[in-house]
Amino acid sequence: MAVRIEVINEECIDCDLCMEMCPASPCVFGIVEGNVVAVNPEACEECGLCVEHCPTNAIRYAQDEDTL
């Protein structure tokens, strides 16, 4: 079972800390239509820095049964 990263838009305050902390290249996060989203989820290293530094807990890992 693969893990995917999610940004909960209702909780996100667009502080961009996730983008600053993300060590992945390319960055997992980007801005689409004014919202922070996981634009490169396949690049996620599952380091947890984005989750740890998100002030509103708007970032979560979810189990994705469809992605193996």
Segments making up each domain of the chain, as ranges: 2-64
At residue 41, does pLDDT exceed 70? yes
Residue 33 has pLDDT above 90, yes or no: yes
**Hunting for tokens 């960055």 — which residue is that?**
27
CB atoms within 10 A of CB 31: 12
Q: What is the pTM of this model?
A: 0.82
Higher pLDDT, 7 or 3: 7
How many CA atoms lie within 13 Å of 49's alpha carbon, on the beta-carbon side? 15
pLDDT of residue 4: 84
CATH of 2-64, one of 1.25.40.80, 3.30.70.20, 3.40.50.12500, 3.90.1150.10: 3.30.70.20
Confidence of residue 63 (pLDDT cuts 50, 70, 90): confident
CB 61 within 8 A of CB 46: yes
